[in-house]
Amino acid sequence: MPNENQIDLSGDGGVLKEILREGQGTETPHTGCTVSLHYTGRLVDGTEFDSSVAREPFEFPLGKGNVIKAFDMGVATMKRGERCFLTCAPNYAYGAAGSPPAIPPDATLVFELEMLNWKGEDLSPNQDGSIDRTILEASDKKRSPSDGAFVKAHISGTFGDRVFEERDVEFDYGEGSAIGIIEGVEIALEKMNIGETSRIKIQSKYAFGDKGSEEFKIPPHSAVEYTVKLIDCGKKLEEWKLSDDERLAEAKAYKEKGTNYFKKENWALAIKMYNKCKSLLPTNADTNEEVKKVKIATHSNIALCHQKSNDHFEAKQECNAVLALDENNVKALYRRGQCNLTINEFDDALEDFQKVIQLEPGNKAAANQVIICKQKIKESKNKEKKLYANMFTKLAANDKEDEPLRETDVLSKCGEWSEEDAKREAELTLERDNIIMI
Amino acid sequence: MLEQEMELEVDVEAQAADPGEAVNLLKLIKRLLLEKAYDGVRMLFNSPQEAERNSRHLPLIAMDLFHDVCAPNLTDDVNCEESELFDCADELLKLLAKYAPLQELMLELMERVGESSSISVFGAYLRALQVLIQRQGRSKPQAVEWCLHSVYSRLQELPLPEYLSEGYDEAQAKLIEQEEDVEDLLAHYITVGLFRTPIVKEILQQDVRPADQTFRNCGLNRRNIFACFFIQLLGRPLALLEMGSVKEGMTRTYVQQVVEGFTKDASQCLGDPFYLLNLVEQRARWQRKLDASKGVYEMSSRNVFLIEEKLPLHALAMYYHSLFVGNQLPPTAPKIYAPLFLFESIVYLAEVLLKQQEPPLQHCGLRLVEYLLTTLGDPVPYASLQLDVHKRFFEALCKIVGYSPQVSLRQLGIHVLRQYVLAFEDQGKYLIIKNLLETQQHDGLMGYLAGMYKDLVHEALLESSPMPKVYSGKMFQEMLLLCVCVLPQDVKSDLLLHSDRLCSALNIVRYFALKDKQDVTGFWQALPEIERRFLIPLAKALDFSMAHYKAYKERVENGQSASDDALMQRQLNMLAVNITNSGMAAKDGDNHLPDIGTKEKLEVLASSITGLESLRALYLRANECIEQSARQRRIKPPISQALEA
């Protein structure tokens, strides 16, 4: 039975708290917070079995079952600076088994606690505080969303005191951006359990970044806060269990998804889906024509997405992957040619387009590109010529400025270059280079 | 700061020194070495008057001394042919490490530790590195980390006998330390032990969390780096030596001593040895998504304990193996962690170990879980099975139990499997067994699991009233009909291939027919369906198989068996699987056994027919029990009917 100074935290007298020193303010830690405190544990006869006082403070994530039940319950009610006694019945501590040798079976434990501080849970990939979670409503379920699995949640975003969006969302995990879910929310969702409600503070790099959001009237570089309730989520695809045919079918489904995002001009998600398709494809592309065909199409589509998002180097890599599988793939050759043209690899581009024409003599687009390539090569050569010529001219001019005027000497010009000489030399250099290239 | 002070100190001394005299000292040392006057060199720095004068010059000539004297003489050849010169160079190196430019010599030593060709050379460089790391203090922890990495890399590159990766038995384990390569490896570890002792002492004195810092700093600092280093050392290759069982009262092997030393140091650096368990789920369950555009790289986490390269999960698992199985928990370890949390976190780590290729690591994974299972007071709640890790753990465990070439591993595995299932609440036990029966392919294992379920129902029959849902009624019938009494390919099933499972199923049918005449479980209600789906097709299959094998035997006897050779080959391959399991496997890819003669063929056929006969005997016995009990049940109506009457 609790005495008048004790508070019954469990409702059945199993966890009793007696405050020794009141804490500051009214705030208490939420589930999921990392709590730092000092404790001393004693048996009812006063035998001390454990204490952190002579050590560094004890830290643990609150409410996740990492410590005995009574500890989780008691600490959750403490304010900063508070000191208290916590009397824990065996069923809230180590039960009938005890924890030999320090804690005998069926032992009631008395803890003296001093709350030092707590902080939110850092969910950011770099642990730099850019995604901070506070669990408002914990759940005893243990399933969380994972890549590709269906997610159903309710989200509510606030900036300052203003709620800028509130809605129910349903999407496949990893594709949240397609329905305007910011990355920070998606990262946090992965670590939430079904039924959990959390408050997520998200720094700008995982929210609306340096552009902000016109729609929600959020300025650039702004941190936002979301309250998210994970209503339901599906199980992830168990890839290792799939047969080759099943893998192919799944891969095709992802390819389809990729194509849908492509049509919506969401290049990033399209690439993500195509990459997923690629990773799902069975490894028998050498022997299975269908797999090979899908693989080629996927690489080719990724290349196009990269082109659309102006990542021409990546696009070129994907074209190379296609050509490794099918060296006469006209689309890949044409795309690689375009990439080469954009990244100023004119000779390579010309080679690609010429091969396209070789394979498809009537391909007008490629013929046009060949003309462009040749023109570009010519322009580039002229540019280089000018560049070198200017360089030598400038150098010569500098030399003239730096050098003090000397008396006219017939021999002084011997062995020195005139401007014309410099030009001629530059041209010769270029010609030499071209000879080497040829 | 400390480093700056040190550098300043060295600079002041360097200023005080006369470059001319310093060069003379260098020349003198070289001449003395040429004259083999090693004691003379020692005297230059040991005698009180000389030491004070000469040490002042060392900052100026330290690197020259290193390049001209120490490095060329710290080799195995010099050590063999002129050990005194080697020792002298060794002593000089340790001395000059106190005065040399810190970063420059550190870089040199990092490289040379990694390349050292023997324990003597390794030891010499490590002694100097120790001095440098102490001089470095708490500043530039990244530099210290690189130094430690070169030490770790060296240990990883040491040659090891192949059998360590392939697994070994208890007798081999006892002799393992006699192996030359293992001895050398342990000597390296012991040297690292000597290297770290004064540094750890210093860390524990200096790197204490200030009173105003409430939370642990998980960033890159000396203390964390050393904690990671010690845990890293517990991983491969040291972990490969830990297949020998740890028994109290036995002599402490070098392996044990080394493991204990590093475990203790890691625990001291961590403070709370369980702290890393809080991060295990984060590490093992969620993969960090790298994203260069947001600066998220492999090594960019501000929490060093989350980076695989700094703290490999398998090594972390070995640390906890040492703490729990090796009984190395410090007395100061917090005693407020929930046993269920410890168990679930350890399952993540054990799964990592079971997935490794090397049997010693798998062995440690099994021992770790075995230990944790003994610490659970209450049954593991059913809800815990929502964690994916249990499923992954069972997959890895069943692979070992069914297919590991190590007998001891298979035996330990099946023991752990049993204990693991039994650790759950009834609903959890049911779900695990059912899932395993539905997903596993190994026939023996399936038979074993079905037997386990029968035992659980048996216990419930004896103890529980009313029967738990999972051991009676619909769930019981589902288990029997869908998972236990199953002929995989109906009448066409290969009875010999599935004999373990079929025997177990027949035994279970026989058991319930005899023991549950009151139909408490619902067995008799399911019986017609069991007969239709299982017993009747089995009878037909038995008749077909028996006739087939007898005819085959006859053809072999008459020399007309060519058309059946494919079947024979299949049976021989089955035999080969058994051989593989017993550790006498032929090399990989050697799937086809050579052709055998008529006599051997007849022997194989005779054993097949015997197998079928025993299965038939079991089948007949089961049927007999069913008929007998059914008769009794007709005479004595079940309790429910009696009550109604």
What are the residue ranges spanned by the domains of chain A?
6-119, 131-233, 239-375
Instruction: Give the model's pLDDT for residue A66.
Output: 94
Residue of chain B minimizing CA distance to A117: B214
Mean pLDDT of B310-326: 96
CB of B60 closer than 8 Å to CB of B99: no
Q: Could you tell me what percent of chain B has a pLDDT over 70?
A: 89
Least confident of A93-107, A391-405, B224-238: A391-405
CB atoms closer than 10 angstroms to residue B450 = 26
Hey, are the CB atoms on A97 and B302 less than 8 Å from each other?
no
Instruction: Give the model's pLDDT for residue B38.
Output: 85
Structure tokens at B434: 């059912």
3 state DSSP class of A218: strand
Instruction: Give the model's pLDDT for residue B159.
Output: 92
Nearest to A68 among B278, B296, B336 (CB): B336
Hey, are the CB atoms on A95 and B288 less than 8 Å from each other?
no
Mean pLDDT of B244-255: 67
Query: In sequence order, what are the residues at sequence separation of 6 or more whose Cβ sits closer than 8 angstroms to the Cβ of residue A420?
Result: none
Instruction: Give the model's pLDDT for residue B125.
Output: 95
pLDDT bracket for residue B568 (50, 70, 90)? low
Mean pLDDT score of chain A, rounded to an integer? 86
CB of A288 closer than 8 Å to CB of A282: yes
Least confident of A29-33, A150-154, B586-590: B586-590
For residue B378, give the nearest of A397, A249, A97 by alpha carbon: A97
Q: Above 70 in pLDDT, residue A399?
A: no
Q: How many CA atoms within 13 Å lie on the side-chain side of B504? A: 23
Hey, are the CB atoms on A65 and B341 less than 8 Å from each other?
yes
Q: Find the farthest-apart pair of alpha carbons in chain B and give their distance in angstroms, rounded.
A: 120
Question: How far is the C-alpha of B75 from the C-alpha of B92, rounded, in Å?
Answer: 14
For residue B364, give the nearest of B255, B230, B213 by alpha carbon: B255
Q: Above 50 in pLDDT, residue A333?
A: yes
Hey, are the CB atoms on B377 and A68 less than 8 Å from each other?
no
Cα–chain center distance at A176: 13
Residue of chain A minimizing CA distance to B384: A142
pLDDT, tens digit, for every residue of B525-543?
999 999 998 999 999 988 8
* Chain A residue numbers touching B288 (CB-CB < 8 A): 125
Mean pLDDT of B516-520: 88
* Chain A residue numbers touching B306 (CB-CB < 8 A): 127
Residue of chain B minimizing CA distance to A99: B375
Structure tokens at B487: 């002929």
Instruction: Give the model's pLDDT for residue B142.
Output: 93
* Chain B residue numbers touching A66 (CB-CB < 8 A): 277-278, 337-338, 341
Query: In sequence order, what are the residues at sequence separation of 6 or more whose Cβ sits closer than 8 angstroms to the Cβ of residue B227?
Result: B266, B269, B270
Residue of chain A minimizing CA distance to B331: A50
Instruction: Give the model's pLDDT for residue B36.
Output: 85
Question: How far is the C-alpha of A219 from the C-alpha of A207, rounded, in Å?
Answer: 11
Instruction: Give the model's pLDDT for residue B452.
Output: 95
Distance from CA of A156 to the nearest CA of B (A): 24
Hey, are the CB atoms on B339 and A94 less than 8 Å from each other?
yes
Structure tokens at A123: 């969910």
Full 3-state SS string of B441-477: CCHHHHHHHHHHHHHHHHHHHHHCCCCCHHHCHHHHH
Instruction: Give the model's pLDDT for residue B411.
Output: 94
Q: Above 50 in pLDDT, residue B13?
A: no
Q: Kindly list the catalytic residues of A.
A: 39, 49-50, 68, 94, 111
Mean pLDDT of A322-329: 90
Q: Which of 3.10.50.40, 3.40.50.1100, 3.40.50.300, 3.40.50.40 would CATH assign to domain A6-119?
A: 3.10.50.40
Mean pLDDT of B360-371: 95
Mean pLDDT of A27-37: 93
pLDDT bracket for residue B372 (50, 70, 90)? very high
Q: How many CA atoms within 13 Å lie on the side-chain side of A295? A: 22
Question: How far is the C-alpha of B331 from the C-alpha of B471, rounded, in Å?
Answer: 43
Nearest to A60 among B278, B306, B387 (CB): B278
3-state percent breakdown (helix, strand, coil) of chain A, nearest 5: 40, 25, 35
Instruction: Give the model's pLDDT for residue B211.
Output: 83
Strands (E), A160-281: 162-172, 197-202, 224-233
Instruction: Give the model's pLDDT for residue A267.
Output: 85
Instruction: Give the model's pLDDT for residue B642.
Output: 38
CB of B517 closer than 8 Å to CB of B634: no
Instruction: Give the model's pLDDT for residue B2.
Output: 40
Q: Above 50 in pLDDT, residue A291?
A: yes
Q: Above 60 in pLDDT, residue B476?
A: yes
Q: What is the pTM of this model?
A: 0.81
Instruction: Give the model's pLDDT for residue A278.
Output: 86
pLDDT, tens digit, for every residue of B477-493?
999 988 898 887 777 77
Q: How many CA atoms within 13 Å lie on the side-chain side of B310? A: 25
Mean pLDDT of A252-265: 87
Mean pLDDT score of chain B, rounded to an integer? 86
Q: Which residue has the tokens 């039960």?
A: A95
Least confident of A337-351, B375-389, B542-556: B542-556
Query: In sequence order, what are the residues at sequence separation of 6 or more whose Cβ sits closer than 8 angstroms to the Cβ of residue B98?
Result: B58, B131, B135
3 state DSSP class of A343: coil
pLDDT, tens digit, for every residue of B89-145?
999 999 999 999 999 999 999 999 988 889 999 999 999 999 999 999 999 999 999
Residue of chain B minimizing CA distance to A206: B294
Fold of A239-375: 1.25.40
pLDDT bracket for residue B557 (50, 70, 90)? confident
Decide which of A417 and B397 is more confident: B397
Instruction: Give the model's pLDDT for residue A131.
Output: 95
Mean pLDDT of A396-408: 57
Structure tokens at A340: 């080469």
Q: How many CB pairs under 8 A join A and B?
A: 99
Cα torsion at B425, B431, B435, B438 (round to 10°)? 130
Q: Above 70 in pLDDT, residue A257?
A: yes
pLDDT, tens digit, for every residue of A126-146?
999 999 999 999 888 888 898
Fold of A131-233: Chitinase A; domain 3 (3.10.50)
Question: How far is the C-alpha of A232 from the C-alpha of A241, rounded, in Å?
Answer: 24
Instruction: Give the model's pLDDT for residue B554.
Output: 81
Q: Above 60 in pLDDT, residue B593?
A: no
Q: Could you tell me what percent of chain A has a pLDDT over 90?
A: 51
**Helical residues (DSSP H) of A264-363, grouped into ranges:** 267-280, 289-308, 312-325, 330-342, 346-359
Hey, are the CB atoms on B377 and A95 less than 8 Å from each other?
yes
Hey, are the CB atoms on A41 and B336 less than 8 Å from each other?
yes
Query: Which DSSP string do the residues of B319-344 spell out, in sequence order?
Result: HHHHHHTTT---TTS-S-B-HHHHHH
Sheet with A162-172, strands from edge to edge, namely A121-122, A131-137, A197-202, A224-233, A150-159, A162-172
Q: What is the CA radius of gyration of chain B?
A: 34
Strand-pairing partners, residue A135, are A31, A198
Instruction: Give the model's pLDDT for residue B573.
Output: 62
Mean pLDDT of B66-75: 92
pLDDT, tens digit, for every residue of B19-37?
788 888 888 898 998 888 8
Structure tokens at A111: 């803890």
Same fold, A6-119 and A131-233: yes
Distance from CA of B313 to the nearest CA of A (A): 18
Instruction: Give the model's pLDDT for residue B16.
Output: 58
Mean pLDDT of B166-188: 87
What is the residue type of A25? G
Structure tokens at B616: 């038939």
Distance from CA of B219 to the nearest CA of A (A): 10
Q: Which whole-number Å values give the CA distances from B518 to B393, B459, B510, B621, B622, in the listed order?
A: 39, 16, 15, 20, 18
Question: How far is the C-alpha of B259 from the C-alpha of B185, rounded, in Å?
Answer: 13
Structure tokens at B285: 């369950």
Q: Above 70 in pLDDT, residue B546?
A: yes
